[in-house]
Amino acid sequence: MPDYQTRLILGVLIPLISFVILALFGPKLGKPKASWVALLAIGLSCLLSTSVLIGWVGKSVPEREALTAAAQNNQYHWSDLGSISLDVGVKLDSLTVIMFFMVTFIAFWIHFFSIGYMAGHSDEVDGTSKYHRFFAYLSLFCFSMLGLVVSSSLLFLFFFWELVGLCSYLLIGFYFDKKYASNAAMKAFITNRVGDLGFIVGLMMVAAFLGTLDLEQAAKNFAAQYAGVTGPNQINIFAADFKLFGFQISGMAVATLMGIGLFCGAMGKSAQFPLHVWLPDAMAGPTPVSALIHAATMVAAGVYLVARIFRLLTPDAQFFIAVIGCITLTITALIAIVQTDIKKVLAYSTLSQLGYMIFGMGVGAWVAALFHLMTHAFFKAMLFLGSGQVIEGCHHEQDMRKMGGLRKKMPVTCWTFFLGVLAIAGFGWPWAIGHTKLGLGGYFSKDEILAVAYDRTFNMGGEHAAADAHTSRSGDWRIANSERDARIDFASLDTDSTFSILNSTFVASADAPPHAEAGGQDAHGGDHATGTKEKLAIASTLRRLPKWMFYLPIIIAYVTPFYMMRAWWMTFCGKPRDHHVYDHAHESKMMFIPLVVLAGGTIFCSYWLFRPMIHDAAKVATNAPAVVAIDGEAHSIDEAADRVMMTLDHHAAVPAHDWLKYYVGFSWLIGMGLAWMIYRNGLETAARIKRAPLFSAAHAALERKLFFDDIYDSVLVGGTVVIAWLSKNFDKYFVDGLVNGAGYATRVAALFSGRWLDMKVRPNDLGLLDWVYNGFIGAGAMNVATAIRRPQNGRIRSYIVFAAGSAAVVLFVILFRDQISSSWQWLTAGLRATAATP
């Protein structure tokens, strides 16, 4: 068995091979066979990743660290950029392993589903089948996403990042003969470009200041520069002092800008607030694509990127990220309430959940955000596949107002969808039964993010600390830190999650002793402890989160169950509203197997597999001085008070989870219950509420997606149109005016001179002038023109041939100058000799 690194690389390359095969021989393989190639490829990748995962889980922590270090040192040197070495390598750690597994596993089942889905879809444009193309794109997507996950260098991450964007474009525009699909594809691509601009700026700043593009090395250099050590090829970013547009920019601000720049890429790909507009439109693609790319994997790439650059962020950059995430999760959840298209509801709920993840990253909940990413990937893929099943079964009807009562026609879809609704709603029992907690993955992960937000809002920092942080924003942040004691009890920070892998039920047991992990995780070892101390010192100077940043996610935790329950009820329950749709509805077997598998994953995988893996990765990935990383320690009800992350000494220790259950413990029940009350008798109640004065205005605004598209349309598209109009008229009246004016002036002058000649010269004309003009110059010009007219045949290609041929002749003459001159001499000498002989 090859080592992990090789297996991961193979796992990345196999889908690429499948893509090449499908691209070259796809049309020959034809309709069912092309899909088998793609399915086989991703299946092999999935097997490889599973084997890696199994091996990795069996390793102890020191062994894992050794493997990570070995992979880090075993990189292929690709090229040099000045003094910066560009290396290709595999970033081998728990996060990579679990992400790789998640992507391949979900992708495999979505490929499987796609075969069933595409079987019932017309895939012809102008008589040519696009069937193989669909699977070729899927394979290419898997290749690029997996490459993104394993990349050890920011540069290669960026390459794969762009490839992923390309695949997204190709797949959104798969029905490119439909106007809306090609428009949506362009919108997605262009919106992503806006974000990528920031990403490139961030990359350049990393290269310029940190002197490397390797993730690990960049983080190390950043930490060293923060401590005041600047290596060769580096510029200390914290000592940077710029003047930009007359503003003095301090080093801390430059470091913040670098982090924000990198985050801009994530804003594009994960569709965060100003750039979120593309994701709902991306639902124009085939439904399996929506499930794979726009719910489970690609959009998560942004969160993954933030997780990887986490150590390059400053507190201000983190705060920015948190604000963006908070805004996104709020507005998109509100818009989701009024959507009537089943896929649009899911799209907006995806946006909202991505907002939660980004918000989690921003408040420092590294573990929780990635945990949420994993659980969300499973249940959102399942929800999307369920919606695909519905759309397929209902003869391409996506409007939920025409559905209803489908429960009897498609029971498996109905109940797996309901499981997804429960998971996203955060179904769980907030009080422990004995020592165990009941809940689906979404419950634990979302709760953990909120718990950290709670800590950041109420437990951490302090009045004077907040004031300090406020004054230190201008750059004295470091000094403020170094003078501050870590007045925080951090002994409990690294307590392990300790959820034994053996607890392979969705009942996560919390009764294991906190430090008794069989793997012997070395939580307090070596430099990590000092890192933690510094980290906490910084954390204490951070300003608290403003209260709205805690309350908004809490409120949205009630909105999420509402709109998901609304979608489920409108689709599957109540009376059928459109008998044409209802009569047609059916369930396809090929398509419900993946649903059941993913439902299993939703229930079982989250707590015993995802969280320990991410928690394990967090030890290294968040060990940096300049960031705040807080481990939420979800639902460790025993010794709750000991597990409070960061509590100032003068504050009473308030265990976040104890409070949180009063805030959101039953949000799933309340939200879903409200939806049930409104929608149980069909749509009349909702329509009545909509007519109420305050609600009607809100509904109108939400239906217009809070005017984002309108604003972008009028400002960006309208602005472009205005500029185009201006330049068109400039061309038409000014440039053309010059040209036409010159022509007109010539004509006037000719007329004038003709008159003058007529009057002055003609009377004395001897005929000579006319003879010279007509006979000599005229005929000569005619002959010359006829001669050079022939090549002027107006065909671009012949011009090119002439140009290229002439260039070749000139080149020949220049190159063989000597030979030509010598042969000329030889020729003339010969001629002279011939002439000399009588």
Partner 1 sequence: MVGLTHYLVLSGAIFSLGVLTMCIKRNAIGILIGVELVLNAASINFIAFSKYQSGVLTGHIFAVFVILLAAAEAAIAIAIFMNYYTNVQTIDVDRGDTLRG
What is the total residue count of the chain?
838
Q: How far is the CB of 797 from partner 1 (least distance, A)?
A: 6
Question: Distance between the two ends of the chain, CA-based, in angstroms?
Answer: 91
Query: Which of 681, 685, 746, 792: binder of partner 1 (CB under 8 A)?
Result: 792
Give Cβ neighbours of residue 313 (< 8 Å, ≥ 6 apart).
Answer: 259, 263, 321, 626, 627
Stretch that binds partner 1, among 172-180, 294-302, 572-580, 799-807 (CB under 8 A): 799-807
Site for partner 1 (CB under 8 A): which residue of 652, 768, 796, 836?
A: 796
Per-position x/- string for 802-821, each x denoting binding to partner 1 as judged by CB under 8 A, each - no binding:
--x-----------------
CA distance 67 to 93: 8
Select from 243, 589, 650, 797 the one that contacts partner 1 (CB under 8 A).
Answer: 797
The region, left, alpha or beta by phi > 0 then psi within -120 to 50, assigned to residue 491 is: alpha
Identify which range of 101-109, 198-206, 639-647, 790-798 contacts partner 1 by CB under 8 A: 790-798
> Is the CB of 724 or the CB of 813 nearer to partner 1?
724
Q: How far is the CB of 54 from partner 1 (least distance, A)?
A: 41
Span near partner 1 by CB under 8 A; candidates 104-112, 312-320, 362-370, 798-806: 798-806
User: Quick one: which of 739, 801, 815, 827 contacts partner 1 (CB under 8 A)?
Assistant: 801
User: Closest Cα to residue 69, out of 88, 91, 97?
Assistant: 91
Nearer to partner 1, 81 or 244 (CB): 81
Q: Which residues in 232-271 contact partner 1 (CB under 8 A)?
A: none
Which among 338, 415, 361, 313 has a CA at the least distance from the CA of 704? 338
Within positions 768 to 787, which residues make up the interface with partner 1, using CB under 8 A? 785
DSSP conformation class of 607: I
Q: Total residues contacting partner 1 (rule CB under 8 A)?
A: 13
In whole angstroms, how close is the CB of 723 to partner 1 at the nearest point?
Answer: 14
Structure tokens, 696: 């009607």
What does R_g of the chain's alpha carbons equal in angstroms? 34
Of the pair 479, 739, the CB lying nearest partner 1 is at: 739
Q: Which is nearer to partner 1, 502 or 804 (by Cβ)? A: 804
Of 122, 793, 834, 837, the residue at the interface with partner 1 (CB under 8 A) is 793
Other CB atoms closer than 10 Å to residue 480's CB: what's the count? 18
Q: Which residues pair with 157 in a beta bridge?
A: none
CB neighbour burial string for 497-507, b if at least 16 within 10 angstroms, e if fewer: bbbbeebeebe
**Sole window of 153-161, 496-504, 800-808, 812-820 interacting with partner 1 (rule: CB under 8 A):** 800-808
To partner 1, the closest distance from the beta carbon of 790 in angstroms equals 8
How many CB atoms are closer than 10 A to CB 837?
A: 6
By CB under 8 A, the residues from 588 to 607 that bind partner 1 are none
Q: How far apart are CA 462 and CA 484, in angstroms?
A: 13
Candidate list 232, 693, 763, 794; residue touching partner 1; CB under 8 A: 794
Q: Which helix (H) or strand (E) holds 87?
A: strand 84-88
Q: Where are the beta strands (DSSP E) in 179-264?
A: 242-244, 247-249
Pick between residue 120 and residue 791 the one whose CB is nearest to partner 1: 791
347: its two tokens: 């799209």
CA 101, 104, 105: angle at the middle one, nearest 5? 75
Span near partner 1 by CB under 8 A; candidates 134-142, 325-333, 454-462, 792-800: 792-800
Indicate the residue among 491 and 804 with the shorter CB distance to partner 1.
804
Q: Nearest distance from residue 800's CB to partner 1, in Å?
A: 5
Kindly tell me which residue out of 229, 748, 800, 829 binds partner 1, with binding defined by CB under 8 A: 800
**How far from 604 is each of 432, 441, 781, CA to CA, in Å?**
19, 8, 90
Nearer to partner 1, 586 or 789 (CB): 789
Q: How many Å is the maximal CA-CA distance in the chain?
A: 128
Q: Does 76 bind partner 1 (CB under 8 A)?
A: no
Q: How far is CA 254 from CA 201, 205, 217, 635, in A?
A: 12, 9, 19, 38
Amino acid at 759: M
Q: Residue 159 or residue 604: which is nearer to partner 1 going by CB?
A: 159
Two structure tokens written together for 45 = 């990748």
Residue number with CB closer to partner 1 (766 or 788): 788
Residue closer to partner 1, measured from CB, 586 or 795: 795
- Between 786 and 834, whose beta carbon lies closer to partner 1? 786
Specify whether the CB–CB gap between 191 and 268 falls below 8 A.
yes
Report the interface residues with partner 1, using CB under 8 A: 785, 788-790, 792-797, 800-801, 804
